[in-house]
Structure 1
């Protein structure tokens, strides 16, 4: 089936990817706002709002919100990213209306009770502390800041303890009113649910959004820099990368193919050379990150203190070798990996629901899987060569965290 999209009279977009042979459905609301659209003084507020949506409404308390979905064997969750916030559930097909009712309830009728708010502030501060104590997590926040210093896109999604403590229920409610407009929401589902049923649920449940305000367009500037965070850890964690490409760039799929052959699996160059042949790491991989108006191409690795001096030169050398030694076999293998990943991901109702929603927010409509597969297949050997060469001429950032004296002054 091909995902269908309708825009209702009130501006809400409804996207449905029907899979008739399954017994469940994933359903959710994706909002086109995240930490990228926050001012410095309210950094982290989108994430706080996401948490508070589950803390009680006019008809359900926090426990009842969890119980009403889990009592039918379902699953309810949410997440905040830099560009969007998602609230989603997975239930059996006969419980789709219940899931829609709960999602509509938490986004339209949340109370923002001061007692619950103060309690949840402490929970979020615990989450921030956990992230700070997890080196292979926090290093990506450090890296983001080095790529985009003093810009919303470079700030942590969770914010800081000081900022989170400064927020009030009214401040968070106002943030919701300013950003959660029907035109900025995609109501999406995938699984055993019909498009007409989703439209009926939207018209029946989503009736209280009145704001017409959408986030202002943000155009980040990749600046790039180097920073070392010394800490007494067992391993040194390193992320380095270059300015990448946004979603709509012609090299979007080229960067994915290149990343896959460079550091996307056990057969990739970085894995084979750095781990298998040299034994310098346990974990190493590359990954492209794209946004509406920005992007990065990055490599992550972790190693012991006495091997730091060998690791970074070895990683850089692999990048320099690609334009001169790339083979067609590598390109074809990378494309096969990407296309197989797309097909296997299509077996998950939640993955397909999220894909339909994200693509609608990014591109204005869901993109058929066959079209994406064709775009991957159309990446040529020459495209990858050109991209690998151009990457080495772009601005770059390097972040190290842990016992990394050997990186100082690199």
Structure 2
């Protein structure tokens, strides 16, 4: 039995919500300063501006140079960084509890007093363009970007978080500044802290460093769920030695009631070493090195993907074997022992992850954003345990339908043409 989770919620004077979780027997803590918007919320003319602005926060404030910021981060003996996702932006760090005031002051300065120097903007533009080029040089990264773009065509969720080279050339320093002024206001922000902490002390320090932050709230455009598109796309990259494949279908939103059966289905299909795809295509047939399944869930949608990399000669065979395993999951109940093994796998990963303060910090934010409540570890485990073989089969039949089928392949594909009839799931 897990220890009772010690979670508290406070609201700062200006409306920023602070969620803290105390963890016993550790020395560190992790903080996340969240913006409740991400790349899906951007103006289509300024794709990539969230990620661009995130970079610019570390290029200097009115009070500190970029070098001074870097030295403060190093002096904490931990790490501070940031990321932009499709639905959020987050500044985060992990360090000893005694360093929280220094980190909080730094985060406060970053979001209250960004310099947005035009010269630094131009330099960072080039850095991000090189980052985009590095994605183009990574076949798996490029494939996932292209798959998502086709699957959610004409929707911001389908666009790369970094934007593209054309949009990077278009974004100005004023665009970055205006984005900051429009998006960063208290009710659009969230602070989560987990680790060795005193709830009241963290609240007081947070109020001191973030409670005076003010900005004028801007009207938010309502999010519209994307339409899923079925497609088959061949992307020729003749310099690649392997063919990389994304075979996908619909998925569930992050808060869907079927999510636990969905997690278990993914684990059984291709989410572990004993999974069906790994055992069949890699271990038995030996025609791939990488093969896996994964799920991507957002507030109102999601997708499910089988990824593999193989030779041009084995591409059709690998796809056929993948589809056969999918059809088996639709037509035949999984073995009770196989389901139990998947449950143990997910529970083990969950409990091991909860020993790390940064994972708990992220979990606090996700539960608040996606569920607007906290689901205890015990509740989560009970929900996992309650999934039946019938639930797995129901989800497989719900998601793996040919009308949802989406396929993107990249590599030497001039002579590798896949027809929909070769991977029919019905």
- Give the aligned partner of residue 269 of structure 2: 262
- Give the aligned partner of residue 397 of structure 1: 406
- Give the aligned partner of residue 119 of structure 1: 123
Task: Say whether the 8 Å CA contact 1:308–1:406 is kept in structure 2.
Answer: no
- Out of 162, 165, 185, which is 2:169 matched to? 165
Residue 391 of structure 2 corresponds to residue 386 of structure 1: no
Provide the aligned C-alpha RMSD in A. 1.4
Structure 1 counterpart SS, 2:61 = coil
What is the Cα deviation at residue 409 of structure 1? 4.0
Distance change (3 Å), C-alpha of 1:397 and 1:215 = farther
Task: Say whether the 8 Å CA contact 1:253–1:379 is kept in structure 2.
Answer: yes
Structure 1 counterpart SS, 2:228 = coil
CA distance in 1, matches of 2:375, 2:181: 30
Task: List structure 1 runs of 4+ shifted beyond 6 angstroms.
Answer: none
Structure 1 counterpart SS, 2:288 = coil
What is the Cα deviation at residue 360 of structure 1? 1.2
- Give the aligned partner of residue 309 of structure 1: 316
Residue 207 of structure 2 corresponds to residue 203 of structure 1: yes
What is the Cα deviation at residue 149 of structure 1? 0.4
Task: Say whether the 8 Å CA contact 1:237–1:302 is kept in structure 2.
Answer: yes
- Out of 354, 358, 379, which is 1:371 matched to? 379
What is the Cα deviation at residue 300 of structure 1? 0.6
- Out of 77, 84, 99, which is 2:103 matched to? 99
- Out of 359, 362, 366, which is 1:358 matched to? 366
Task: Say whether the 8 Å CA contact 2:250–2:400 is kept in structure 1.
Answer: no
Q: Per-residue CA shift, 1:252-305, capped at 9, x if unaligned?
A: 121111000110111000000011011111111111111111110111111112
- Out of 38, 43, 61, which is 1:39 matched to? 43
Note the 1:313-324 alignment, pairs <5 A.
313-324=320-331
Equivalent residue pairs, number: 410
Distance change (3 Å), C-alpha of 1:224 and 1:215 = farther
Task: Say whether the 8 Å CA contact 1:47–1:158 is kept in structure 2.
Answer: yes
Which segment is superposed worse, 213-222 or 69-78? 213-222
Task: Say whether the 8 Å CA contact 1:3–1:368 is kept in structure 2.
Answer: no
What is the Cα deviation at residue 190 of structure 1? 1.0
Task: Say whether the 8 Å CA contact 1:309–1:406 is kept in structure 2.
Answer: no
Residue 158 of structure 2 corresponds to residue 154 of structure 1: yes
What is the Cα deviation at residue 113 of structure 1? 0.3
TM-score, with structure 2 as normaliser: 0.93
Structure 2 counterpart SS, 1:307 = helix
- Give the aligned partner of residue 144 of structure 2: 140
